[in-house]
Structure 1
Amino acid sequence: MDSCWSRLKAELLENGVFRILEDAHTELFEYIECYYNRVRRHSSLGNISPEQFEQKYYRTLNQNLHT
């Protein structure tokens, strides 16, 4: 969890503080859902993004169903 907070601070909060709470909510949502969970490479997934991992999984699953 410490690593998660460290990355969040380094990547999301690099420009300082938010003016209003809604800005913080929006930025946090976009960071988690649009970047961290989709684009950012994860070492636990073989240094590919979760999006790429999911595509690879379904491609393999589909190939196995048709063989």
Structure 2
Amino acid sequence: MKREWINRFVILDYQHAYRLVFEYIETFYNTVRLHSHCDYCSPGQYEEQYLEKLEESLKLVS
């Protein structure tokens, strides 16, 4: 996080640091950044693939 995000800014105070960390986690890390435990997909892509597989398996059962 420090290398990818925080070092781009001059941190003014604790509140500013808090907002920067929150923004990084909510807008990039949890949505866009690739994760090895998600087969190198972003969490959003991984969730979409999971839901597609779930829908397909429900169609097969019906």
TM-score bracket for the superposition, by shorter chain length: 0.7 to 0.9
**Equivalence for 2:45:** 52
* Structure 1, unaligned runs of 5 or more: 1-7
The count of corresponding residues between Structure 1 and Structure 2 is 60
Larger radius of gyration: 2
**TM-score, normalised relative to structure 1:** 0.77
> Structure 1 vs Structure 2: percent identity of aligned residues?
37
Deviation at 1:11, TM superposition (A): 0.9
Contact 2:6 2:20 in 1 (8 A): no
- The residue type paired with residue 14 of structure 1 is N
**Could you list the runs of 5+ residues in structure 2 that have no partner in the other structure?**
none
